[in-house]
Structure 1
């Protein structure tokens, strides 16, 4: 498995995914191609190497002019950074996004500013996003359905990770495109990992979002990070709820035991368990960002 590789989702009909090579890291970012009557993609990647998404369309026999729907789970740039580039290459595709995120696709300047603050030196892997023309943005609310002809996808608002996040339920294959609401699936380690970036991470709402997906009772979870999840979807979602709670407790405890936030960040970043998969730089940066998100959440909780 390498960046640019395209794989069929075995549990689904006519759904494939490409490893986008996000952050120059394999097995981290995936974009899904849905070969329906109205062809679609789910998420767009970081913008860098968006040509890999176009190549995945070609691999599935879908010409750029035939793509009709770009479904953005939320506007964090690792999911929406390629939307403007792909929309320009695919002139007949509308871009679907939750109504809260729509303004940031039309004018990504504030999103870029926030991303630079959140990701630190990981910004070196990004490109400045292109705006999506307003007339091509379709705003979604909770419960809205995107009609792809041969299948329908229902958007469910899942704001714990970000207020503009939705997960898409694919009724044809009993699948859910999880965005970041079910955590990060690491296939080579057969486990789920937390994602808790600042400034919007909310533990209680994230647990509620995982419970929402459990109630949908899907046969397969299609992770943006990374690829199809395990067969026992209920078990992995329950596991994720526990992972989140333990992660917040760990950050809180480390700050107390080590005497400062900086010491806690250094320790947790240096003792992560995914450096073997993502490499040391990405693993440290991701962990640092997640700690910052928890610290922000804890301060917000105390303020209330």
Structure 2
């Protein structure tokens, strides 16, 4: 699959995955479209390539008056940046997002500033988000339901990646929309890449989020990047191990080098050299973001040890 294309998700009737072409990398940005009685878009991409998503919805047969729901998994702009643009085009669609993300989509100014600071020159791959009108959006909490008419999605809070993150479970189709709660499954290397952005990544909570998925034991997991894959029980262990080893590697390198900038530079260089499933500049930027998130987490743990 290439940028702007979509395909059916194997084993899940009426579900499609759309490739946003995010960061000039095929399949990196996954948007899910459920052509249910009350159709839904799960995640939106950055909004930069929204016209291609509109075309996908047209080809699936979801008209501008028919889309019922726009459902970001969390407020980060690579997942929710297009929400306001979708709301403008689809006037009957209601936007739902975990409660702590609502304010960011209604007034995205602070989120844009934080994202620009975090991603720096990678901002060229984003688009200025359109605000979501307050009367079109509401927050979600644990065990809330999204009514799709012929099925429903169950909300499970998953704040390890970010406080405004949730996963969505369709118990009938036995599919989980995990977004970033389970890391990034990269088919090219058949492995999990942790995603640990600042400022509020929490390892303990992240591991708890993976246990939530483990408890649901779905047939299929729809990742926010590189699309869906079948779920096997051993996958949860792989995810947890990847996160623990990543955090430990950064902790050890910090002890060795004694300088956080040097730690970031070390992992940036390693990513540009060793990671070849996206462009080198994106690999460097992603490593920088994830290392800084872990360093902030380690600082938080040190400051709150014993409380």
Q: Normalising by structure 1, what TM-score?
A: 0.97
Alpha-carbon distance in 2 for matches of 1:265, 1:16? 37
Deviations along 1:79-99, one digit per CA (max 9) or x if unpaired, are 100000011011110001111
The runs of 5 or more residues in structure 2 that have no matched partner are none
Alpha-carbon distance in 2 for matches of 1:202, 1:216? 21
CA contact (8 A) 1:275 1:282 kept: no
Q: In the alignment, does 2:114 pair up with 1:114?
A: yes
Deviations along 1:174-219, one digit per CA (max 9) or x if unpaired, are 0000021000011122111100000010000000000011101111
CA contact (8 A) 1:17 1:227 kept: yes
- What are the residue-to-residue correspondences of 1:141-290 with 2, within 5 Å? 141-232=141-232, 234-272=233-271, 275-290=275-290
Deviations along 1:97-136, one digit per CA (max 9) or x if unpaired, are 1111111111111111111122122112111110001111
Map of 1:77 onto structure 2: 77
Alpha-carbon distance in 1 for matches of 2:4, 2:236? 28
Report the alpha carbon displacement of residue 267 of structure 1 after superposing the two structures with TM.
1.6
Query: Over the residues paired in the alignment, what is the CA RMSD in angstroms?
Result: 1.2
Q: Normalising by structure 2, what TM-score?
A: 0.96
Runs of 4+ in 1 over 4 A off after TM superposition: none
Tell me, what secondary structure is at the counterpart of 1:177? strand
CA contact (8 A) 2:219 2:230 kept: no
CA contact (8 A) 1:54 1:64 kept: no
Deviations along 1:220-248, one digit per CA (max 9) or x if unpaired, are 0001112112341x211211111000000
Map of 2:43 onto structure 1: 43
The runs of 5 or more residues in structure 1 that have no matched partner are none
Aligned length: 303
CA contact (8 A) 1:230 1:236 kept: no
